[in-house]
Amino acid sequence: MKRIIAPALLGIALSVPAVAGAAAQTAAKPVDPALVDKFLASTFGKAPAEWQARIQPDETLQACNKFRNDVPSAEAEKITAREMARVVYPADGKLLGDWKQGRKIANDGRGNQFSDPPTIASGGNCYACHQMEASELSYGTLGPSLTNYGKDRKFDPEEIKRTWARVYDSQSQVACSNMPRFGANKVLTEAQIRDIIAFLFDPESSINK
Amino acid sequence: MNRPGIGLAACMTVLAALWTTAGRAQDAAEKEIEKYRAMISDPMSNPGYLAVDRGEALWREKRGAKGVSLEGCDLGLGAGKLDGAFAKLPRYFKDADRVMDLEQRLLWCMQNLQELDTKDVVARRFSGPGRQSDMEDLVAFIANKSNGMKIDIPLSHPKEQEAAAVGEEMFYRRGGVNDFSCATCHAEDGKRIRLQGLPNFAKPGQAPRETMASWPTYRVSQGALRTMQHRLWDCYRQQRWPIPEYGSDGITALTVFLQKQAAGGEINVPSIKR
């Protein structure tokens, strides 16, 4: 993602005072957060309390919002440490479930939209952002290709563990990642994540063929 | 006004069927749509023009406790002045002391000029099976009167500047169970979700211009004319956010931001889309 690198801008501003004025002019004027909240309330203020709570940014999202995801490295370290602490591994240590079930979940984009029945089990919708099986042509490009994911990583147990953390809470790996925090935000259950990890890492899985 | 050609309905049914088939067929469908789009981009056969006709009738109809038409409504260029008004919306209105998009302004005129109870109008804000929408029709009619003109919203009033700045903040505000913001899907060039292309609105240029200059649009997959209010409602749905309030200041702020990015885009509406 191409973003302006804040420290670089700052360096120029400090060393060449004449440029600082120009830079300040082009930078977005800071907006009073209370004002933004007022507008948000006009648009979402009548939603049920449970829905209101969902759009309250936690500490991590507050930082991502403030820096438009381009967080300084000290902040990034705080985020990955905080989110890593939220990752829960299965008590029995079993990280691989049923890859066929995982494929279904990866294809399923339902759940958590205001048009969805609230009781519906949420899908992972991985295909919205990732290429996965080579045979599936309808895939999005917001994330990298995951074709042959397990095979390319030699089905290494360490990689499997790291990927569990990635799917459970993407920001444990990349601060302000655009990928949802599926486990931490309770979008997917432990059993569903197990199946998805199997889809990525089972040698028999169609992703590795 | 221009009427769509006979046989179009049949053609659309075939295309609608194409769209409902599984993902892979979408590629083939896209190509068909291209041909189809070229065929009906002429006003003679775009069903969106039916909405334009209905909108014109509604604009002239005497309604409300006052029994007057909307022809006295000031959309920013003076009472009843329609040509080019849409190209300069949203904008600040002194009488309401608010920045308003076209739909908010129409509701304001209905309430204040016609003294019309808008509850029913708002309930029908988006059309559905057996339910026509006054707002969709009025927007189609009024926006059409800006064809050939360039998007050029005023940003001199402090409240207009405020709306643009807040809209930009909202564009980047992440939340919901998936941590999505508009920017998750619309801040890079050439990205897509499944097979659907995602215009990049993070910087001014061709993508925002072409997009904003093509709304309102006739959505073939929905068989309805849709306004920007509906588009943003649908995007917040995909964002896993709560239902946004129709005609609220937040949606207008976002629209101001998008229009700012789209400045210079040449309006040609109602367009026709997937």
* Shortest alpha-carbon distance between residue A110 and chain B (Å): 10
Round the average pLDDT of chain B to a whole number and report it.
Answer: 89
What's the DSSP call for residue A207? G
| Mean of pLDDT values over A170-196 | 98
The domain defined by A68-208 folds into Cytochrome Bc1 Complex; Chain D, domain 2 (1.10.760)
pLDDT of amino acid B26: 55
Instruction: Answer for the pair A88, A168: CB distance below 8 angstroms, yes or no.
Output: yes
Strands B191-193 and B196-198: antiparallel
Distance separating alpha carbons of residues A52 and B232, to the nearest angstrom: 18
Determine whether B182 is an active site residue: no
- A 60-119 near B (Cβ less than 8 A): 61, 64-65, 68-69, 112-115
Is it the case that residue B1 has pLDDT exceeding 80?
no
Angle at B171 (CA atoms; ends B170, B175), nearest 5 degrees: 70
Q: Give the model's confidence band at B33: pLDDT under 50 very low, under 70 low, under 90 confident, else very high.
A: low
How far is CA B146 from each of CA A105, B78, B207, B213, rounded to the nearest angstrom? 46, 15, 20, 10
* Interface test mutation site (partner A, options B30, B103, B160, B178, max chain A beta carbons within 10 A): B178
Reported as a single tens digit per residue, the pLDDT across B187-202 is: 999 999 999 999 999 9
Q: Which residues 147-206 in chain A show a CB within 8 A of chain B?
A: 178, 180-181, 185-187
pLDDT in tens, A4-51: 333 333 333 333 333 333 333 344 567 999 999 999 999 999 999 999
Indicate whether B62 pLDDT > 90: yes
Q: How many CB atoms lie within 10 A of CB A178?
A: 23
CA distance A187 to B2: 49
Residue B240 has what pLDDT? 97
* Residue contact B175–A57, C-beta within 8 A: yes
CA A69 vs CA A137, A177, A178, B90, B165: distances in Å: 30, 8, 9, 29, 18
Contact criterion met (CB < 8 Å) for A43 and B190 = no
Instruction: Please name which of B207, B229, B202 lies closest in space to residue B216, comparing C-alpha atoms.
Output: B229
Is A25 near chain B, with CB under 8 Å? no
Burial code of B9-34, b = ≥16 C-beta within 10 A, e = fewer?
eeebeebeebeeeeeeebeebeeebe
- Residues in A closer than 8 angstroms to B244, CB to CB, are 43-44
DSSP for B158-225, written as a single string:
HHHHHHHHHHHHHHH--BTTTTB-HHHHHSSTTEEETTEEE---SSSSHHHHHHHTT-SEEETTTTEE
Q: Is B12 helix (H, G, I), strand (E, B) or coil?
A: helix
B170 touches chain A (CB under 8 A): yes
Confidence of residue B27 (pLDDT cuts 50, 70, 90): low
pTM of the model: 0.89
The residue of A3, A4, A32, A39 whose CB has the most chain B CBs within 10 angstroms, and thus the best one to mutate to test that interface, is A39
Instruction: From chain A, pick out residues whose CB is under 8 angstroms from the CB of B185.
Output: 142
Tokens of residue B145, six digits: 């009167």
Nearest chain A CA: its distance from B231 CA (Å)? 15
What region does A123 belong to: left with phi over 0, alpha with psi -120 to 50, or beta?
beta
A137 and B27 within 8 Å at the Cβ level: the answer is: yes
Quote the pLDDT of residue B11. Answer: 41
Q: Which residue has the higher pLDDT, A4 or B83?
A: B83
Is the pLDDT score of B184 beyond 80?
yes
Quote the pLDDT of residue A4: 38
Choosing among A40, A130, A132, which should be mutated to test the B contact, i.e. which has the most B CBs within 10 A? A40
Q: What is the pLDDT of residue B19?
A: 42
ipTM value: 0.90
Percent of chain A with pLDDT over 90: 84
Of residues B166, B177, B187, nearest to A185 (C-beta) = B177
Quickly list DSSP for B77-119.
Answer: SSBT--TTTGGG-SEEETTTTEEE-HHHHHHHHIIIII---TH
Mean of the pLDDT values across residues B93-120?
98
CA–CA dist B63, A19 (Å, integer): 58
With a cut of 80, say whether residue B108 has pLDDT above it: yes
Give the whole-angstrom CA distance, residue A170 versus residue A162: 10
A72-120 pLDDT, tens digit per residue, is 999 999 999 999 999 999 999 999 999 999 999 999 999 999 999 988 9
Instruction: Report the mean per-residue pLDDT for chain A.
Output: 89
pLDDT tens-digit readout, B230-259: 999 999 999 999 999 999 999 999 999 999
Examine the pLDDT at A153 and tell me if it is beyond 80.
Answer: yes
Which has more pLDDT, B12 or B26? B26
pLDDT confidence of residue B74: 98
Q: Where are the beta strands (DSSP E) in chain A?
A: none
Minimum distance, in Å, between the CA of residue B220 and any CA atom of chain A = 20
- Chain A contacts in chain B segment 193-222 (CB below 8 A): 193-195, 198
| Partner residue opposite A142 with nearest CB, options B23, B191, B243 | B191
Residue B38 has pLDDT above 80, yes or no: no
Nearest CA in chain A to B23: A138
Q: Is the pLDDT of residue B6 over 70?
A: no
Best mutation target among B98, B100, B179 (most A Cβ atoms within 10 Å) is B179
User: Is the pLDDT at A63 greater than 80, yes or no?
Assistant: yes
Task: Give the CA count within 13 Å in the CB-facing half-sphere of B271.
Answer: 17
Work out whether strand B271-273 and strand B217-219 pair parallel, antiparallel, or are unpaired.
parallel
- Measure the CA–CA gap between B136 and B51, rounded to whole angstroms: 7
- Top-confidence residue, B125 or A5: B125
List CB contacts (< 8 A) between B178 and chain A: 112, 180, 185, 187
> How far is A130 from chain B, CA to nearest CA, in Å?
8
Q: Measure the CA angle with vertex B211, ends B206 and B217; round to 5°.
A: 155
B242 in A contact zone (CB under 8 Å): yes
- Interface touch A142/B185, C-beta < 8 Å: yes
pLDDT (mean) for A172-178:
98
B26 to chain A, any CB pair closer than 8 A? The answer is: yes
Q: Is B158 at the interface with chain A, CB within 8 A?
A: no
